Amino acid sequence: MVLYYQSKHADLPKPYLIYVGKDKFENEDLIRWSWPEQDVWFHVDDLSSAHVYLRLHDGETIDSIPEKVLLDCAQLVKYNSIEGNKREKVDVVYTPCENLLKKKSFEVGQVAYKDEKLVLKTRIRDGRNNDIVNRLNKTKKEVEKPDLEGEKLKRDLRIKKEKQKFYEQQEKERREKEEEIKADLLARDYGRLDIDEKKVTNKELSQKYESYEEAEEDFM
């Protein structure tokens, strides 16, 4: 079972999806089928707790998470930690899901980090905030068997199509630019050719007219 929550705030354009694995076995699936560059993993530092995931909106990064949403995730992690929920102060670590490291030797649900520099930390100093926890619990939905793999594959297909469309547009613009440059160069070549055809040297004039009077008469 996966628990889904919504972090909704009046001053934010749209809500954020937060989801939590019911146990360590589901956490394995959540890690496996998380969305790279879009899902952020939260956990109480140095204590046992639920694994909480935040799904960012398209184009957002871990550094752009609104403070209110960050606090919602931190409070939800604390609430889902037996020991952490008893403490006034706890540190909560968070990192992009793509930074999570899984090895065959790890126990079920156990993770490490690929790069410690990508792990951020926030601190709860004044205990559990019941207003936040109650607000989040009102949005909670329990899904017995979510199709995590299907959702991930559908997302990957959408990203692939968007990238393909972007590259096709880039290629179209590149070809159009090349055609513009070719047309401009061709127009300049024709311009020079036209000028060259109109040029007549003094030698050519002398060969055309036998006398000055004849040339003047032709000019008139």
Q: What are phi and psi of 218, to 5 degrees?
A: -70, -35
* DSSP-derived 3-state class of residue 96: strand
**Residues 74/80/84/88 CA torsion (nearest 10 deg):** 60
Contact between residue 218 and residue 209 where contact means Cβ atoms under 8 Å apart: yes
Token pair belonging to 81: 């930690």
Cα-trace Rg, the chain = 34
Give pTM, 2 decimals. 0.76
Provide the pLDDT for residue 73: 97
CA distance 135 to 138: 5
pLDDT digits (tens, 9 = 90+) for 96-144: 999 999 888 888 878 999 999 999 999 999 999 999 999 999 999 999 8
Contact between residue 19 and residue 28 where contact means Cβ atoms under 8 Å apart: no
pLDDT digits (tens, 9 = 90+) for 168-190: 888 889 988 888 888 888 887 77
pLDDT digits (tens, 9 = 90+) for 75-87: 999 999 999 999 9
Residue 160: which pLDDT band, with cuts at 50, 70 and 90?
confident
Mean pLDDT for the stretch of residues 145-154: 90
pLDDT digits (tens, 9 = 90+) for 6-40: 999 999 999 999 999 877 888 888 989 999 889 99
CA distance 2 to 17: 12
From residue 105, how far is each of 31, 102, 110, 125, 199 by CA, in Å? Answer: 16, 9, 10, 35, 86
- In one-letter notation, the amino acid at residue 96 is P
Token pair belonging to 185: 């160069």
pLDDT digits (tens, 9 = 90+) for 36-64: 889 999 999 999 899 999 999 999 999 99
